[in-house]
Structure 1
Amino acid sequence: MKKKTKSNVWHIQWMLLAFATLCFTGCKDDDEGLEEAFDPNKPIVVSDFSPKKGGAGSNLILYGDNFGNDPSKVKVTIGGKDTRIVTVKNQSMYCIIPPKAYNGNIQVSVCDDNGEVISSVEAESTFEYEKKWMVSTAFGTYYENGNEFFDMKDGPLDAGGGFGNVFWFSWDPESDYNKLYFTNDGKTTRYLDLEKNEIGTFSHGFDRVTAITWTLDGNMIVSHNHSSDTKPGNYLFTRASNYTQKETLGGYARGVNGNMIHPINGELYYSRYRAGDMWKYDFETGESTLCFQNPYSGVGIYLVPHPSGKYAYMLEQEYYFIMRTDYDWIRKTFTTPYAICGTGNSWGYSDGIGTHAQLNRPIQGVFVKNPAYAGQEDEYDFYFCDKNNHCVRILTPNGRVTTFAGRGNNGTSGLLDGEVRTEARFNEPRALTFDPKRNCFYVGDGLNKIIRKIAKETE
């Protein structure tokens, strides 16, 4: 009994101690939650901030004194740009970095009930603003009411109208990146003259053209994507005739979705939809030969050669993956392809390496040199439109897929400009190209019927 009584006493003592500790802690927390209001008789102090550098949309915490406790009466500018304040405590403040805060000067002000500044201070050190990749609308007008949409007419690019079905971009190789052609996959091929800020039309006379490419000597190749077994599929339009004269290349070819020129040896390669195969046309012999049979038939295969000519990517839209075909320099032909990312006939969305990445209808892509790879065997990343995932993605030389732009604000499709990942949205982007002269990407934003631009912020 004595032992039991002693045990009860100790239990009661521990309960009282725990209760006292809880009360003390609770009172301490309550005291900490009662942040002091701004004192007009004291100066505002900015003693430090973290992090020291970042880009638009990044978080920033300011430390100091006499900030007050009312976010509606505190104003913060970084580089002269108004900054969104999330929370304010008297000695700390949580903000969001605004776009284009280039010079990095941090100023904190406190206002009265009428919004007039009554005290302000500038931090001694400056924030290092990092320019981010941003998405904007480059060309065309978005019409929320689809019944109001009309195709942009030839003439000035700011005259209104949009683009019904931008499908494939192709630069005139002799235009110094000033003339960009694009197909409409069922409509007349158009071109943008970025030097004159105009849009024009190229009339090739075909009812459906999916892809165009260029010979090494600057002539245009147009592939007629038709459904006949008794018609040629590829035509050469000569620059000397201002693309008014054409000649047939090779024999009959049905459903030509993709074409490309080997960047070193100059042969023409093209894919056929119904048969699911790839062919080579040799300009020297005038002969067409089968390169290989694709694992799947009834598939749009879009072709993009690596600048070195060592390999090419085959973007297989209906089967949701990308294959690689290596070039045989002795036989002068591309060889049997193999999967590089995604899984054939299995769609989804996930970043990852090889078959661990999931795609959903990849279409056009472009190789872009990455300075971080300087001196390596392959110095290029591959950017591509993942149409039904509503984004632009990156495929590295080692087969890793990441998302570069789109799917912002926890969404998928839509139309929104802003930072490439946190804000920007696309709606079935299809065409993609890179402009090294202006250091930007152009995206044919399919269902939004406009051309978007992805570029780093500029002052």
Structure 2
Amino acid sequence: MKIKNNVMHWQIHWMLLGLIVLCFTHCKQDEVKQETGFDPAKPVVVTDFYPKEGGVGNNLVIYGENFGNDLSKIKVVIGGKVAKVVGVNNNSLYCVIPEEAYDGDIKVSILGDNKEELAQAASKEAFSYTRKWLVSTFLGKYYQVGTDFQEKEGPFNDCGGFKGMEWFSFDPKNHNHLYVAAGSSSSRLIDFEKQYVSYFRTTLDNVGVLTWRTDGNQDMIVSHNHASDTKYGNYIFSRESNFTQKQAIEVYMRGVRGTFVHPQTGMLYYSRFRAGDIRSYNFTTKEDKLVFTNPYSGVAIYMVLHPSGDYAYLVEYDKHFIMRTDYDRVNKTFKIPYTICGAAGTSGYADGIGTNARLNSPVQGVFVKNPDYEISGGDQYDFYFCDRNNHAIRILTPKGRVSTYAGRGNNGTSGYVNGDLRTEARFNSPQAIAYDEVKKCFYIGEAGNWLIRKISKEE
């Protein structure tokens, strides 16, 4: 998918702002001219505007005649939505594009002392409104005081907050069901059809990750993240029981933080925290064996398989980098991994290619198809991932380039702000992410704000 940034729009913003400032600034004190006010005996006329297209938050200069010079008596409506006017100079005015100005018709009104309309003019040409990708709040209540936190089952508008979200997973057979693994907090089920949030009761004290078998039944696999060498680490929750009954995969596994099932073989792959290795389990033969060791032990390794099954990313939370392991279809196993982005053991924030990029505690990621790659061929997917301690959503391209998609605005701090992806939106420790292929939007689980945010185009 193609997500455009707002660099060009902001360049236009400052250029226009500079023009407006020049319009209102006089070179010499003795050359000051009295600005012309609105003349009720003359018509108000809109002759042109610039730029011709843009989205919410972008800036627009409207040219014409007899606008007057009183900011409080100017009203601009674009696409049926009132725009904020920030400057007027009789023959030009400067405003900000409002949200959802889809129709693009431009109307300028002059108001009286009692806000009655004295005159109006409309542009013959419509503004081309571009629907932007924006961050909004999808689910949960924002608690400014932590002790006020409540967690409960309920409809979308009354389901409390969400603590500990670590992993999102859509049911492959029911896209209206999104499951939330929440560590030692309560795991949840989000039902889009019923618009209801309920508890997903596993009886496990720490749910690390959810994945799915690839056979016809597609049962759920839930990892139990614990610190014992004599406990099972993964359980199969049967679809037949509506995921209420579980059966252990009878292999002792400690600190499981990443799992996936390969579509070609149906093999389960999982990571272990203490040992720092990746292992496989064969559901048919019950064989459990080492695939490869990780460069570090005592680390959380999240894993995401590419939709093709050709490779997987190992997201190294504690060491701030991402590795790639390629799948050998002949020998039916994964190869020794190599670094794809970030610098092992070095946290930071920097966009760039490969080891020049800097990450800070990356967690879950998701592959999203990018139509721009269809012409060139090759890998068709970008990887969007939560960069937790950078409070951002980053993009990793197939060629290893990392850029910032959302969050970390002008000052790079955490927070809770909706709006434009980069200039306005603020996150607080995003950890979980899912992409809805049907609705074409992202859901983001925040550990710091206890909310689920949404990234989507304006509807």
Asked if 1 retains the 8 angstrom alpha-carbon contact of 2:169 and 2:210, the reply is yes
Distance in 1, matches of 2:164 and 2:171, equals 20
Change (3 A) 1:110 1:409: farther
Q: Which residue of 2 aligns with 1:203?
A: 201
Is 2:165 aligned against 1:166? yes
Q: Which residue of 1 aligns with 2:317?
A: 317
For 1:270, give the aligned amino acid.
Answer: Y
Asked if the contact 1:250/1:287 (under 8 Å) is kept, the reply is: no
Alpha carbons 2:276, 2:296 under 8 Å: kept: yes
Identity %: 55
1:135-156 alpha-carbon deviations (Å, 9 max, x no partner): 1111111111111111123x32
Q: How has the CA–CA distance of structure 1 residues 210 and 453 changed in structure 2, closer, same or farther, with 3 Å as cutoff?
A: same
- Residue 30 of structure 1 and its aligned partner are, at CA, apart by 6.3
Partner residue in 1 for 2:91: 91
- CA distance, structure 2, for counterparts of residue 195 and residue 47 of structure 1: 49
Q: Does 1:127 align with 2:134?
A: no
Over aligned residue pairs, what C-alpha RMSD do you find?
1.8
> Match for 2:187: what amino acid?
T
C-alpha separation in 2, matches of 1:236 and 1:43 = 75
Residues 260-295 of structure 1: per-residue CA shift (max 9 Å, x gap) = 111333211111111111111122321111111111
Give 1:156's aligned residue: 155
Larger Rg: 1
More deviation in 366-375 or 407-416?
Answer: 407-416
1:19 aligns with none
In structure 1, stretches of 5+ residues that fail to align are 1-25
Q: CA deviation at 1:435?
A: 0.9
Select between 387-396 and 111-120 the one with higher mean Cα deviation.
111-120
Gap change, CA 1:370 and 1:222, over 3 Å in 2: same
- Tell me the alpha carbon deviations over residues 299-343 of structure 1, each in whole angstroms, 9 at most, x when there is no partner: 111011000011111111111111111111111111111111111
Q: TM-score, normalised by structure 2?
A: 0.90
Deviations 1:201-238 (A, max 9, x none): 22222111110100012111111111011122112122
Q: TM-score, normalised by structure 1?
A: 0.90
Which deviations, in whole Å up to 9, do the C-alpha atoms of 1:176-204 show, x marking residues without a partner? x1011111111242111111111222222
> Does the 8 A contact of 2:163 with 2:186 survive in 1?
no
Aligned to 1:292: 292
Distance verdict in 2 for CA 1:306–1:58, change over 3 Å: same
Gaps of 5+ in 2: 1-25
Q: How does 1:171-186 map to 2 (within 5 A)?
A: 171-175=170-174, 177-186=175-184
| SS of the residue 1:355 aligns to | helix
Distance 1:67 1:400 in 2: 49
Query: Is the aligned partner of 1:424 residue 2:425?
Result: yes
The code of the aligned residue for 1:107 comes to K
Give the match's secondary structure for 2:233. Answer: strand
Partner of 2:333 in structure 1? Answer: 333
SS of the equivalent of 2:372 reads helix
The one-letter amino acid paired with 2:85 is I
Alignment of 1:55-94 (within 5 A): 55-94=55-94
Could you tell me which residue of structure 1 aligns to residue 439 of structure 2? Answer: 438
Q: Which residue does 1:406 correspond to in 2?
A: 407
1:10-409 paired onto structure 2 within 5 Å: 31=31, 34-153=34-153, 155-175=154-174, 177-217=175-215, 218-249=218-249, 251-375=251-375, 376-408=377-409
> Given that residues 159 and 197 in structure 2 are in contact (C-alpha distance below 8 angstroms), is that contact kept between their aligned partners in structure 1?
no
Moved more, 27-36 or 377-386: 27-36
CA change 1:282–1:34 in 2 (3 A) is: farther
> CA 1:180 to 1:30, structure 2 compared with 1: closer, same or farther past 3 Å?
farther
Give the distance between the partners of 1:187 and 1:87, measured in 2 at CA. 51
Whether the 8 Å contact between 1:140 and 1:152 is mirrored in structure 2 is: no
Whole-Å separation in 2 of the counterparts to 1:84 and 1:315: 44
Shift of 1:409: 5.3
How many Å separate the matches in 2 of 1:247 and 1:54? 54
Residues 160 and 32 of structure 1: is their aligned pair in 2 closer, same or farther, counting only changes over 3 Å? farther
Deviation at 1:410, TM superposition (A): 3.3
Aligned equivalents of 1:33, 1:401: Cα separation in 2:
53
Distance in 1 between the 2:292 and 2:433 partners? 27
In 2: Cα distance, 1:61 partner to 1:334 partner: 57
SS of structure 2 residue aligned to 1:263: coil
